[in-house]
Amino acid sequence: MRLLVCVPWYAPARGFGGGILTSLLATVEGVLEAGHDVTVATTDLLDSHSRVPRDAPAEPAGVQVLRFPNLSQRLAASHAPLPRGLRPWLREHAREFDVVLIQDVYSSLSVLGARAAVQAGVPYVLQAYGTLPTSRERGRAAVKRAFLALWARRTVREAAACLYLSESERREYLAQGAESARLHAVPPSLDISSPDNIPRSSKPSVVYLGRLHPIKRIDVLLDAFARVRAELPDATLEVIGAPTAYGEELRARAGEGVFFRGLRERGTTDRPAGGTRVWHPGRALARLRAPPGGWGGRNRLRRQCGRGRRSLAHAPARPRAG
């Protein structure tokens, strides 16, 4: 099987791609391990100010990554990527793939990828990761409604399959015209290390792990935790995410019992200047949620949380050249 993935940003843009990129990397790795071919069509966005270097290695090993330069770095950083050259490339090459995986709803890449797949007679799968709702608290409500009316609703309706995370997201797909038979519950793919010998916290604990961005509504979490802390004085809240300006604003307003941690890439041992404490995401989650017997190893955790990485990898492997 040959899989084409259309996504607005891809590794190494982890700080911008957030949990969606983490899940996608695990999916790509699983498809490759199953013996299939994966091509990722994306942009060159690295972060709000930078582009991915031309010589950046592809992740994981074995995937082909095609980075189309954004016409405007500023627009791309504002969630409006405009990849130069993607449309003609899709027109010429979409028919070469067996399946197209769309990893976004509200971007030009999702529209171009979906339309090219339909024109080439190739089925595409839409995975919105909970971003479909247009409610005000989810952010960019007016922009989303306009995008739905112009392009995204058609993307939902023409998808061969739509993957949802929760019942509320399933209902949202149906509201936008998706057929019930084409909806499939698939949890996000996870590839989390399982540190050993980490006891459960002896205090009431809450952990937030993700981007420190206004759309995540961490301010609401801080307000709610303050109420919890009033009744449970020993409760703690760990906010774990890559440093951002908004994160510093949150840190300044946080009350007692709230701790902000940075992130460290897997396999690294260096510590940032100033002694800032950094945590591995897997270590934080294991400390909070590990059952008495532990996770039971990395493979068991993958079985519990990684159904999504096998959902596109069930077809017989296609022989590789050489």
* pLDDT band of 122, cuts 50, 70, 90: very high
Q: How far apart are CA 147 and CA 154, in angstroms?
A: 10
Interacting residues of 132 by C-beta distance below 8 A, sequence separation 6+: 105, 156, 169, 172, 173, 176
Instruction: Give whole-number Cα distances, 93 to 180, 203, 212, in Å.
Output: 30, 55, 37
Query: Per the structure block, which two tokens stand in for 95?
Result: 């028919």
pTM of the complete model: 0.71
Q: Check residues 140 and 34 and name the one with the higher pLDDT.
A: 34
Q: How far apart are CA 2 and CA 23, in angstroms?
A: 19
Place of tokens 């409604």: 145
**CB-count burial class (<10 Å; 0-12, 13-18, 19+) for 316:** exposed
Whether 147 has a pLDDT exceeding 80, the answer reads yes
Q: How far apart are CA 157 and CA 174, in angstroms?
A: 9
DSSP-assigned letter for residue 83: B
Whether 252 has a pLDDT exceeding 90, the answer reads yes
Confirm if 82 and 75 have CB atoms less than 8 A apart. yes
Mean pLDDT of 119-139: 90
Phi and psi at residue 233, in whole multiples of 5°? -60, -20
Q: What percent of the chain has pLDDT over 90?
A: 61
Type of residue at 241: G
Which residue, 166, 161, 154, is CA-closest to 180? 161
Whether 135 has a pLDDT exceeding 60, the answer reads yes
pLDDT, residue 291, reads 37
pLDDT tens for each residue of 178-192? 999 999 999 877 766
Whether 276 has a pLDDT exceeding 90, the answer reads no
pLDDT, residue 217, reads 86
Type of residue at 81: P
Type of residue at 187: P
pLDDT tens for each residue of 68-77? 999 999 999 9
b/e sequence 218-228, b meaning 16+ C-beta within 10 Å: beebbeebeee
Identify the weakest region by mean pLDDT among 92-106, 192-206, 241-255: 192-206
Q: How far apart are CA 151 and CA 148, in angstroms?
A: 6
Q: Check residues 244 and 263 and name the one with the higher pLDDT.
A: 244
pLDDT, residue 188, reads 79
- Residue 209's Cα: distance from chain center in Å? 13
